[in-house]
Amino acid sequence: MKLWDKGLAIDKKIEQFTVGNDREIDLHIAKYDVQASLAHAKMLQHIGILNEVELGQLEEGLQHLKEQIEAGTFVIEDQFEDVHSKIEFELTKTYGEVGKKIHTARSRNDQVLVALQLYYKENIQEILLKTETFFLSLLDLANTHKDKLLPGYTHLQVAMPSSFGLWFSAYAEILADDSYLLQAALKTVDQNPLGSAAGYGSSFAIDREFTTKDLQFETLKYNVVAAQMSRGKSERTIAAALGGLSNTMARFAMDICLYMSQNFGFISFPDELTTGSSIMPHKKNPDVFELLRGKCNKIQALQTEMTLITNNLPSGYHRDYQLLKESIIGGIEDMKDLLDIFNYAINQVEVKDIDLNDAKYRYLFTVDNMNTLVENGMSFREAYQVIGKQVQEGTYTPDTSKQHTHVGSMGNLCLEDIKAKFAK
């Protein structure tokens, strides 16, 4: 069954190509299509196209389909082009002519669009909650380890003293920035497109405010052409937000892989979180963080994919939009899993003590020693030259007497201020 079927046969090769794997992908949006269909049916009764008995039948049928979806027993068989045709078929099979009325005053275009918007809206909110959980975990770790010294690096060269508190809370604060982009994406999709039909509205006296309220959208997409043009725009916006979050997580995963290596040795994880080598018995590999890094980098490519599919399309609907669903839904589902596993793993991190007697940390306190000279009356430029000359001549002797003072000041992280930055 196809919603656009006019009784004419279609070439099987063409059918297979145009449908693709939509049946499998559409299982992600099935419950949202049921939700939107119910709101549409209520609106049709509200404007007099359906009577109360007909609405009751459709409500009953849609509730039954919702229960199937929630139980995991809902299937889209090969004879159906997509979830939308399957739902209408089931309603028609059970209620006859009443089921055929559900498509009045809408097109498959706005039917797909509203289901996707509802899916995006709910899942962005879920990603925001998981991001906040990760964010709070990092702040807790920052507070726990705020006084633990961590060598700071610039250009991958030993630079200045830092702390684990700074490291953990730095990524927390960047996650707060990522939450702003997620909120922007949420605001973009929180607009009701239902009623735009094929992109040029409906001649029926539909009530779009009714469905906007019933579906709990913040507002509606007023211009019906703009509603169709939001297909692609929404996906690009979501991909940008996911890409920003992925960038933060990928960089953090890279830090972890680096800091776990023997050359750094700053952190470790329980054996059960690492993997071994098939030939080297001593190995504890950070595979989980390498996979996190790779998967997050893959998600960052989504924005380019979404842009290249849609960037030169004119206004109106185009079948190219079908190609957006698989990748953006896959990216959303992957992101939820990545946030869960990252948060699970990072809470088991083991922070190590750093041996400052190691020769590679000899110059870690040059800035502190220079600042001591400035505090004793020497100009900054002269103090810089004095310490620089000692380093060049090999006569520099590190003074670590201010080590605890320095790390203590690093521990003054204003964690509550950072916590307040996360977008609600």
Residue 375: closest CA among 397, 402, 356: 402
Domains of the chain, earliest start first: 12-103 (1.10.275.10), 108-201+226-351 (1.20.200.10), 359-416 (no CATH)
What is the pLDDT, as a whole number, of residue 275?
66
Strands (E), 123-172: 149-154, 157-163
- What is the C-alpha to C-alpha distance for residues 30 and 28, in angstroms, rounded to an integer? 6
Q: How far is CA 104 from CA 3, 28, 206, in A?
A: 12, 24, 10
What is the pLDDT, as a whole number, of residue 152?
94
Q: How far is CA 274 from CA 30, 266, 286, 325, in A?
A: 38, 16, 5, 34
Q: How far is CA 6 from CA 98, 100, 105, 318, in A?
A: 19, 14, 18, 20
Q: How far is CA 41 from CA 34, 59, 81, 295, in A?
A: 10, 8, 22, 41
- What is the C-alpha to C-alpha distance for residues 141 and 270, in angstroms, rounded to an integer? 16
What is the pLDDT, as a whole number, of residue 78?
81
Whether pTM > 0.85 for this model: the answer is yes
Residue position matching structure tokens 């960052």: 300
- What is the C-alpha to C-alpha distance for residues 324 and 307, in angstroms, rounded to an integer? 10
What is the pLDDT tens value at each position of the chain, 424 positions in all?
Answer: 444 455 555 656 666 665 567 788 889 999 999 999 999 999 999 999 999 999 999 999 999 999 999 999 999 888 887 899 999 999 999 999 999 999 999 999 999 999 999 999 999 999 999 999 999 999 999 999 998 999 999 999 999 999 999 999 999 999 999 999 999 999 999 999 999 999 999 999 999 999 999 999 999 999 999 999 999 999 999 999 999 999 999 999 999 999 999 999 999 999 888 765 445 556 577 889 999 999 999 999 999 999 999 999 999 888 889 899 999 999 999 999 999 999 999 999 999 999 888 999 999 999 999 999 999 999 999 999 999 999 999 999 887 666 655 554 554 568 889 999 997 6
- What is the C-alpha to C-alpha distance for residues 242 and 249, in angstroms, rounded to an integer? 10
What is the pLDDT, as a whole number, of residue 171?
98
Q: Which residues fall within 8 angstroms of residue 19, CB to CB, at 6 or more apart? A: 81, 82
